[in-house]
Structures are given as C-alpha cells and as structure tokens.
C-alpha cells in the first residue's frame, strides 16, 4: 500500500514540487520577513502593493505557462516541443513591449491614486518581460514533468532575489533595492531554465500545427486573468482606501495569509499535466482531483489553526513588531486564501480538460470585490470580512464552472 502511494505520479510529482516550492516559499517568506523588518510599515505597504499589481498582471505568466504545459504534456516528439519553444519565445517580443508601454501609461494615473512614486511603478513594470518569457520555459518543464528542473529554477530565482534585495535594502536603496533584487532573480531563473532546455536548441524542428493553442488559450487566459486579478486586488484597494499605515498593516496580514495559496500550489501544478494527458480516462482524472483535494486539506487546516490560536506570535516573527490590528484579521484572511487555493485547483482541473465554457463567470467575484471592499472600508476588519465573502463567491463560481464542464462529468 505504501509502495503504491509512493509510486503514484501525483504524489511523486507533488512531493518533488512540494520540496521545491517549500524551499521557494521559505526563501520568499524570509524575503518578506527581511523586508518587513528592514522597511517601515509604510514602505512595506508600498512594496506589497507593487507586488500585488504584478500579481494581478501575472495572468500573462500563469496563462502562458498553463497553455505551454498543456500542449507540451500531449507531445511525445522533441522536435515539436523544440518548435514550440522557439516560436513562443519569438512571438513573445511584441506583446511584452506593448504590455509594458500600456502599464507605463496606466502608472501615470496609479501614481497619484496610490501615492507611489512613478519611478517605483516603472521599475516594477520590468517584471512584465519576465511574465512573458519565463513561463514559456517553465511551462515546457512542467508539461514534460521535469519537476526537479522546474523547482530548481524557482529556488535559484528566490535565492538571487533574497540575497540581492537584502543587500540593496541594507545599503539604503529601500523599496528600489527590493524591486531590483526581484527583477534580477527572475532574469537569473530564466537563464537557468534556458540552459536546462539546451538540448532542444540542437533538436531539429518538426512541423506542428499550433493554431489550436490560441483557441484554447483564449478561455484559459480569461479564467487565469480573473483569478489573478482577484488574488491581488485586495491589497491594491487597501492602499487606495486606507491611510498608508493601515494599508501597511493590512498588507502584512494579507501577504502572510496568502502563504496558504503558495503552499498548495505545488499540488495544483503537479496535478495539471497528469489530468491534461489525453490518454487518461475521465474517471482517473476525477480521482486525481480528489487526491489533490485530500493533499490540500491538512496544509490549510494546520495553517488556519496557527493563524487562529497564535496570530500575534506569527506576526511578530514575520515583521519583528507587535501589530494588534493585523492579528485581528489574520485568520479571516487565511480563510479567504484557503478558498482561493481551492478555487485555483478546480479551475486548473477544468482548464486541463480542454473543454472550457462559461469562462466569463470568473469576473463575477472580481466585480463583487471592486464593489464590496470599498463599501466596507470603514475599518480593516469589515474590509477583511467583505474580502472573505467575495472569496466564498469565487469558490462557488469555481464549483459551478467545474460542474458545467462536460468533460468533467
């Protein structure tokens, strides 16, 4: 029985990615601890807001990686995958530049609304290029189940980020130092992933029809865009609605609570190429989903128990200071993060089935968040309760979208 469990592809893949994501998340956690301790509450609130802006825009990265992983998992030919890699990298150049220029234009408005220097917003925008190029190589690694290489690139990214960011912040570069470290970390991870796939550069391309990828990518892009917008919008709205100190307090609690989402990601990413395989039967895919949920449960329960019983201790370890207001909302935000995690799992399962309908429904909870959070912004407690309620709606929508998917039945 134990041998059967150990040899299970989902368990093996989840364990490898769990270790890699665990190291990645630990390093990111250390990064945020260092930043929360080195920066003022106000400056950390600015950094968290900048990261949240990029999270909301990370639908480019998540969509591209999901689509590439889906396509490469169905291919047995290195020649076709080599063609996919080269064509995708070539085609990424124009959209990335256009997205960056559009972001700069929007930043002119955001700078005054969020009270963040335009220079910081512009520097933050360089991550857009990483969002277009890095997921192409990582998507191929994920689709081909090269989980060790995928995890290695993530660990390298986090290592470079944390070392450079800490050095630059301590050198007096403040939020600029944290962003430069983050950008160089992504660049280093991209170069390493390209090196890992170097064998494909010597592989002759085989003719392959990839036009259907774009039809598939439209609904995938919509779903992941809605999910990523939802994921990062609360911190951005908190920055716009509260004073800088309260926004910083909320950001600290939110970033800490969302470690639940980050901690469960390895399971979702390990499940995806398995359920995406065309050779797998529907019943087997359903069992994989059930296994993934069963792996989610203990992670979420343990985290929520810690947030409920020891919020002040966790926050003190994280930020190096007592933040009573953040302690009051940590468990609530943890509940919200758990629901986002489950929603992400269901949506990825649905995308892997290749029959996507009703993708526009994902914008219902996003719209609700835009309406509800400002209405309940008289305190960060009521704001947090409203956030949890929108997370419940997101989860319900995700369940509905999974049920109405014919291939999920």
How much is the pLDDT for 8? 52
More confident residue, 93 or 394: 394
To the nearest 10 degrees (0 to 180), the angle between helices 211-241 and 41-57 is: 160
Contact 204, 78 (CB under 8 A): no
Question: Which residues fall within 8 angstroms of residue 19, CB to CB, at 6 or more apart?
Answer: 151
Q: Please identify which residue in the block is written with the tokens 């980020």.
A: 161
User: Are the C-beta atoms of residues 14 and 291 closer than 8 Å to each other?
Assistant: no
Per-residue CA distances from 220 to 24, 50, 70, 137, 213 (Å): 26, 25, 11, 18, 10
DSSP assignment of 349-369 equals: HHHHTS----GGGGHHHHHHH
Neighbours of 19 (CB within 10 A): 15
Mean pLDDT of the 232-255 span: 94
Q: What is d(CA 1, CA 8) in angstroms, rounded to the nearest whole number? A: 11
Confidence of residue 409 (pLDDT cuts 50, 70, 90): very low
CB 300 within 8 A of CB 339: no
Query: Sign of torsion, CA 37 39 45 47?
Result: negative
Question: Which of residues 225 and 20 earns the better pLDDT score?
Answer: 225
13 against 109, higher pLDDT: 109
Q: Residue 212 above 60 pLDDT?
A: no
- Tell if the pTM clears 0.85, that is, is over it: no
The length of the chain is 409
Check if the beta carbon of residue 274 is closer than 8 Å to that of residue 144. no
- What local confidence, expressed as pLDDT, does residue 407 receive? 46
Who contacts 306 (Cβ-Cβ below 8 Å, separation ≥6)?
Answer: 314
Residue 58 has which token pair? 């990370």
On whether the CB atoms of residues 277 and 73 are closer than 8 A, the answer is: yes
Q: Which structure tokens are listed for 56?
A: 């909301």
Half-sphere exposure at residue 33, Cβ-oriented, CA atoms within 13 angstroms:
14
Distance from C-alpha of 24 to C-alpha of 185, rounded to nearest angstrom: 12
Regarding predicted confidence, which is higher, 150 or 173? Answer: 173
> Would you state the pLDDT for residue 387?
97
11 to each of 128, 149, 168, 263, 267, how far by Cα in Å? 33, 17, 39, 15, 8
| Predicted pLDDT at 292 | 85
Percent of the chain whose predicted confidence (pLDDT) is above 90: 47
What are the pLDDT digits (tens) for 175-207? 999 999 999 999 999 999 988 888 777 777 666
């Amino acid at each position: 029985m134990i041998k059967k469990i150990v040899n299970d592809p989902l368990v093996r893949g989840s364990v490898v990615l769990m270790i890699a994501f665990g190291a990645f998340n630990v390093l990111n956690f250390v990064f945020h601890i260092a930043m929360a301790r080195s920066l003022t509450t106000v400056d950390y609130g600015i950094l968290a807001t900048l990261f949240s802006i990029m999270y909301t825009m990370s639908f480019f990265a998540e969509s591209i990686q999901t689509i590439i992983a889906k396509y490469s998992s169905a291919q047995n030919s290195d020649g076709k995958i080599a063609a996919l890699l080269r064509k995708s990298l070539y085609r990424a150049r124009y959209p990335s530049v256009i997205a960056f220029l559009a972001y700069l234009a929007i930043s002119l408005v955001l700078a005054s609304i969020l009270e963040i220097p335009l220079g910081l917003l512009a520097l933050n925008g360089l991550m857009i290029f990483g969002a277009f190029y890095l997921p192409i190589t990582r998507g191929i690694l994920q689709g081909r189940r090269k989980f060790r290489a995928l995890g290695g690139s993530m660990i390298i990214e986090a290592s470079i980020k944390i070392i450079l960011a800490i050095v630059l912040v301590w050198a007096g570069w403040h939020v600029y130092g944290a962003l430069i470290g983050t950008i160089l970390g992504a660049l280093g991870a991209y170069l390493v992933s390209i090196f890992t796939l170097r064998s494909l550069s010597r592989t002759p391309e085989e003719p392959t029809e990839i036009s259907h990828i774009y039809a598939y990518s439209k609904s995938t892009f919509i779903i992941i865009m809605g999910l990523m917008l939802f994921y990062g919008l609360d911190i951005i709205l908190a920055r716009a609605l509260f004073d800088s100190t309260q926004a910083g307090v909320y950001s600290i609690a939110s970033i800490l609570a969302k470690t639940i989402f980050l901690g469960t990601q390895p399971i979702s990413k390990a499940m995806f190429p398995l359920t995406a395989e065309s050779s797998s039967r529907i019943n087997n895919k359903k069992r994989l989903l059930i296994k993934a949920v069963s792996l989610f449960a203990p992670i979420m329960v343990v985290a929520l128990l810690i947030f409920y019983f020891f919020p002040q201790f966790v926050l003190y370890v994280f930020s190096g200071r007592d933040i009573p207001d953040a302690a009051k909302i940590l468990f609530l935000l943890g509940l919200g993060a758990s629901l986002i995690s489950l929603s992400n799992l269901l949506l990825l399962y649905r995308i892997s089935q290749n029959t996507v309908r009703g993708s526009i429904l994902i914008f219902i909870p996003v719209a609700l968040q835009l309406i509800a959070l400002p209405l309940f912004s008289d305190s960060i407690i009521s704001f947090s309760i409203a956030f949890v309620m929108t997370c419940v709606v997101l989860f319900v929508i995700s369940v509905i979208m999974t049920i109405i998917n014919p291939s999920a039945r």
